[in-house]
Structure 1
Amino acid sequence: MDASWMLALAIVTTSIGTALIALLLIGLGLGRFAVRPRAAAVQPALEETVFLFDDQDLVDATTPARMLLDAVPMGGSDWARLCAFAAPRFAGFAEAMATLADRGRLELASAPGMAQGAPLRLIAEDAGGLARITLHDPSAEGQGVLVDALSYRALEEEVDLLRAVADRSPVLSWRENAQGEVIWANRAYILRSNALDNPDEVLSWPLPRLFDLGAPLPSAAPRRLRITAADDRALWFDCHAYPLEDGAICFALPADATVRAERALRDFVQTLTKTFADLPIGLAIFDRQRQLQLFNPALIDLTQLGAEFLSGRPTLYAFLDRLREARMMPEPKDYRSWRLQMTELEQASAAGFHSETWSLPSGQTYRVTGRPHPDGAVAFLFEDISSEISLTRRFRAAAELSHEVFDSLDEAVAVFQPSGELLMSNTAFTRLWQFDPAETLGCVTLTDTIRVWQSFSLPNPIWTALQGYASRMGDRRPLSAGIALRDGRQLSCRFLPLTGGGLMASFHILPTAIGPSDAPLLLTEAL
C-alpha cells in the first residue's frame, strides 16, 4: 500500500514539473515552435507621375505619366496633351513653365473645385537643362487600394468607349466654368476653333470661346447662334447648355440646313405674298386646325372684314360667322341650316375642288372656291363675278332678243358653220321644210339639209352646184337660184358666204304659185 502511494505521488510530481518547465520556456520565448505575432501587411508604394521633357519633346516618363498622356487625346504632341491636362487645373501653367530655366524650381497647386479631394500639386525642376515635372495627388498617397482586376478592366473599357464617343462625335461639345471659360472641349470643337491647324501647335488655355451663351449661363433650351468661318461664311448652330455645380456642359448642333430651309420658306412665302397682293381674287388659307394662316389684301376689300380681325388668325367658323354678320354671304333661312351648310362646304373643300355661287343681298355675286392643300389645310378663293354675271345676263338677253327677231322673219333662214354643221335656223325655216333641227339627235350637216331640200322640191341643178360650192376653198361668191316645190310653190333661194367660212341659206316664197310643169329652172351666180 505504501509502495503504490509512493508511485502515484512520483507520477504527479513529474507531470507538474514538466508543465512548469514548458510554461517557463514559452514565457522566455525559447520554445522551438513558439507562435509569433503576424506582421502588418505592407502597402505597396504608388509609382509617381513624372515627366522628363527636353523643351517640348518627351524624353522619358513613368508608367502613370504615360497612362495620363494616353488619357488626354487632345493635342498633336506629348507636350500639347500635358498642357491640355495641366493648364485648366493649374492657373498660369504655361507662363510659369516659361520661367523654369530662370527659377530652377517651381510648385503649383490646382484651383479649388478642379479635382475631387485635396488639390493637386505640380512640381517642376530644372535637371541639367531638362524639365522634370512631377504630379502629386495627396488624396491617393498612402492608400494602396487593391482593385479587382476584372472590375478595373471593365471600368477602363467603359471610360475608353466614352472618351472615344466624345472625341469622335461630330457635335461640338465643351465645358465652361463658372466664369464662362472653356475648360474642356472635344475634337470637333477644337477643329472648328482652328486650334489645331498645325498639329505641333501648343494649345492655348483657356480655349477660344466660339459661342457667347451669355452670363449667367442660359437654360437647356436651344439657342441659335452664328459664327463666322475663315472664308467669311456664316455658320449657324443650335446651342444647348446644361448647368452643372461649377459651370455648364454645352453642345452645338449644326443648323445651316435648317437656316437655309427656313430662309427659302420665308422667301417663298414673301414671294407668294407679293404675288397674292396683286390678285383681284381674295385668298384665305386655313391650316389643319382650321385657323387662318395666310390672306391677301383683296380678301379685305371683298369681305369688308378688317385687317385687325384677319391678322388675329380666326378660325374658319369665326371667319364665316363674321361674314354672315357683315351680310357678305347669302342670308340663311335659319342658323342651324346655315351651320350645316358651312360644315358641308368645309368638308367638300377638304375632300376636293368645290365651288359655290353666292348671291349677296347687296346685289353682288361671289364665286367661292375651296381647294385642299397639303397637310390637311384648305384654301378658299373669293371672286367677285358681278360684272361677269351682268355681262352674261346682258348677252343672254341680247341673244334671246336676236333669236326672237330671227324667228319673226317671214324668210326661212339657216346658218351653217365652216365645218358644215347647222348652227341655227328660224321658225319660218322649220315651217317651210317641215324639219326642226332641235328635235334631231346629233348634229345636222349641210349635206343632210340638202337631202331634205331635194325631197321637197323638183329636180334642180342648184343642189349639185351647192354641194360643190360648199366644199370649195378660198373666196366664194354669193349664189342665188329659183326652185319649185312639189306642192307648186316657187321659191327664191340665196346662199351667202359668211366671214370665217360659214354659209347662210335663205328661202323666200314667191307670191304667184305656178304648176309643177311650168316651174322655171333658174341658176345665177352674183358677180
Structure 2
Amino acid sequence: MVNGWLTRRGKRLLAAGSALASLALAGPAHAAPYLATTEVVTGSLLLGVLSAAMISAVWMIRLRGRVEAEHRELRAHLSDARHTVSRLQALIGDKNRRIVMWDGLSGKPEFLGQLPPETGAPQADRDFLAFGRWLKPASASEIERAVEKLRSQAQSFDLVVETTREEVLEAQGRVSGGQAFVRFVALNNLRAEAAGLKLERDRLVAALTTLQGLLDQIDLPVWQRAADGSLAWVNEAYAEAVEAKDAAGAVTEGRELLPTIAREKIRATSTYDTPFRDKVSTVVHGNRSFFDVVDARSASGSAGIAVNVSDVEAVREELVRTLKSHAETLDHLATPVAIFDGDQRLQFYNQAFQTMWEIDTAFLESKPGNGELLDRLRAAAKLPEQLNWKQWKETALSVYRAIDTQTDLWHLPNGQTLRVFATARPQGGATWVFENLTEKVDLETRYNTLVQVQDETIDHLAEGVAVFSPDGRIRLSNPAFRALWGISEAEAKSGTHIRAIEQACAPSYDKPDGWKRFAHMITSFDDERPSCQGVLELRTGLILDFAVIPLSNAQTMLTFVNVTDSVRVSRALTEKNEALRKADALKNDFVQHVSYELRSPLTNIIGFADLLKTPTMGDLNDRQSEYVDHIATSSAVLLTIVNDILDLATVDAGIMELDYTEINLTDLIDDVSMQFADRLHDAQVTLEITAPDNLGTIVADQQRLKQILIKLLSNAANFAPPGSAIGFKCWREGSDLVFTVSDRGPGIPQDVLTTVFNRFESHGRHGGAGLGLSIVESFVSLHHGTVKIDSHEGRGTDVTVRIPSATMTSFAAAE
C-alpha cells in the first residue's frame, strides 16, 4: 500500500517538473529570443530535476514522520493487548479451576489454571487427562465419553464428577472458534452441596430404577399406591396376574389384584408402625389362589407385595391328608404302634396296640403319659418283671433324650417275645413299635431242629455232598464226600477254604477241569450262577458223576455220585454201538458203490430204449413198442432210486453243499405243477394249490427245494384214492416259507408214524423203495427247517414243512 502511494506521488512530481520546464522554456523565448535553443533545453531540464529532487525530499520527510507515528500507535496497542492477556491469565489461572483446550482432533491439549490439591487432581499436565487415576470409576468413564463426543461431534456437556477423595467438581465442555475446551471447576460450599445433592439424587434414581427392574424380574406381584389409594406403580408380575397388557397399562386402567373387601381391610388396619400381614384369597387367571400379603403405609402412600402360597396350601392340605392316610395305614397294620408327643403323652395308637395290651379305649383316649402307661401295664402283669423297676423305666423313657433308635427285647409273662423299637421324633416325642417275635422264635427253633435233621440225613447219604459259602469256604460235608476223595474230617472241617480242599484232593485228581473249575464257579461274581454237571475219573479208578448246584444266599452245593459200575457198562455198550456204526458205514459204502456201478448201465439202457423208439431204427410193432416203453419206464424208476441213494449217501458223508440262490416262489410252484401233471394223470388225482398271489422270494437251493416238493406230492399221490384231490397250501410266516401237502388216503397208523422217515420204509399202495420221505427230511434239515406229519387212519395225511430263508452263502451239510 505504501509502495502504491509512493508511485502516485512520484508521477505527480514528474508532471510538475515537466510543467516548470515548459514555463522556463517559454519565458526566455519571449524575454531573450537571442538565446540558443540547446542551452534553453539544458537549463530547463536541470531546473526540472532540481525541482523534483526538492519536492521528493520534502515528501520523504513527511512520510517518515507519518510512519513513526503509526509505529508508536501499534506499540501502544500491543502493550494494551499484553496487559489484557496478563489480566485474563491472572483471572483464569486461579486455584479453583482448570481448562483443557484442543485445537482440532489431532491437536495437543493445552492447560490453563490449577485445581486445589485437596481435590486429588494431578498438578502435572501429562497426568491430568488420566481420569481413571483420580476420579471415581463411574465419573471417569462418564467424563471420558463426554470428552470424546465433544471433540468428535462438538456435543457440549455439563457434568458433576467425584474424585477419589470424595471431592465434587463441575465439568463443562464447549466448542468455540474451532477449538474444544473443558473447564473443571472446584465448587464452593453451597455449590458443592448442591452438586452432592444432585449426585445423591442420581444415585437414588439409579437405585430406584434398579430396584424396580429387580421387582419386574421376580414372579411376586408388587404395587405402590399414592396417598389417595390409587395405583402409582406395579411390576410385571402384578400386570400378568391382573391380565393387563403391561405394567403401565395396569396402572392406567386401575386394575386391582386384591378384592375390595381385602383392600378395605388393609386400609382400615394398616398403620405407619404396623404393616398389614394376612392371607388373602383372590382369583388369578380364572383360578382361586391364596396370597400372603404384606402392605406397609408411608406418608406418601403405601406399598405392598403378595406371595402366592397356593402351592403351600395345597401341600399343607396334602400333608393333612397324608397324616390321616398314614394314621389309617398304621391302624390297619398288624404291628402295634404308639406315638407320644414332646410332653410324653399318647397322641396316636393303632388297633393292634390296643388289642395286644388289652387296654380300654377310655384310658387311651385320655392321652396318658408314657410312664403312666408303663405303670398300668406293669400293674396288670403284662410287662416282664424287673429287678429294679425304676431304673428299667428310666432307661426305657430315655428315648426322648436320645438321638439313635433304641431296641430292646421284652419277654412277656404270657409267653410272647417282643422286639421294641423306640425312636425319637424330629418335632418332639417318640414312636414306639412292638414287633411280635413269638412266631419267629418258634420258627427259628423249628428251623434249627430241621437243620439238625438235615445234617443227620446228609451224613447218611451214599452221595458225597459239600456246601460252600460265596467266599469259597466249606460250610458242611458228609462222610461219603470225604470217603470218595480220601480226605479226613479235619481237612474238610467247616471254614476250610476250597483251595485247601483242592490240595487235599490233589493226590486223587489234580487236573484243571476239576477243583479249579469248582473254585471259579463257587467264588464267581456273575449275576447268574448256572448249574453244571459232568464226570470225573479219579486216579483211584473211581468214576464220579458230579453236579454244581447254586443254592440260596449265594451258596453252592457240590454232589458226587459213584458211577463207576454204570460207566463201565456204558463203555461196553458204546464199544458195541461203535461196532454197529462201523457196520452201518460199511453198508453205506457198499450201497454207494453199488449205486455208482448201477448208474452207468442204467444210463445205457435208457439211451438204447430211447434209440429204439426213434424212426431211424425202424418201425416196431405194438408189442415191441409196449416193451420198449416198459423198459424206459422201469429204467427211469430205477435211475430215480439210484439217484436217491446217492443223495442220501452224499448227505451221510457230509459232503453235500447247498447252492443258495434267490428263488421266485410263484415260478417254482408253477414249474413243479407242470412237471407233476403227468404223474397226477397216471394216479387219476388232481392237485389243488392254495397260495397267495405274491409269495415273494426266498434264498434256498432251488433244485433241492424242488425235489422236496416233488417227493411230497409223489408220496401223496401214492396214498390218495383215485378221483380225489391232493391239497398243496403255501404261505409265508415272516421270512420263512411254510407249505402243507395233504391227501385223503387211508392215513398212516400211529405205530408207524415214528418210522415214516426211516430209509427203505414203504407205506404206499404202489410200493417203492421207501426213500422219498427220508430224502425230504435230509434236505429240509440241510435248510435248517422242520418237517411234521399229522395223520389219522381213514382221514388222510398232512405233511407240513417250514423252510427259513438263508443268506447268499454256501453251507456244507453236517454229518
Question: What's the TM-score once normalised by structure 2's chain length?
Answer: 0.30
Task: Judging by fraction of residues, say which structure has more helix.
Answer: 2
Q: Which has the higher contact order (CA 8 A, sep 6+)?
A: 1
- Between structure 1 and structure 2, the one with the greater Rg is 2
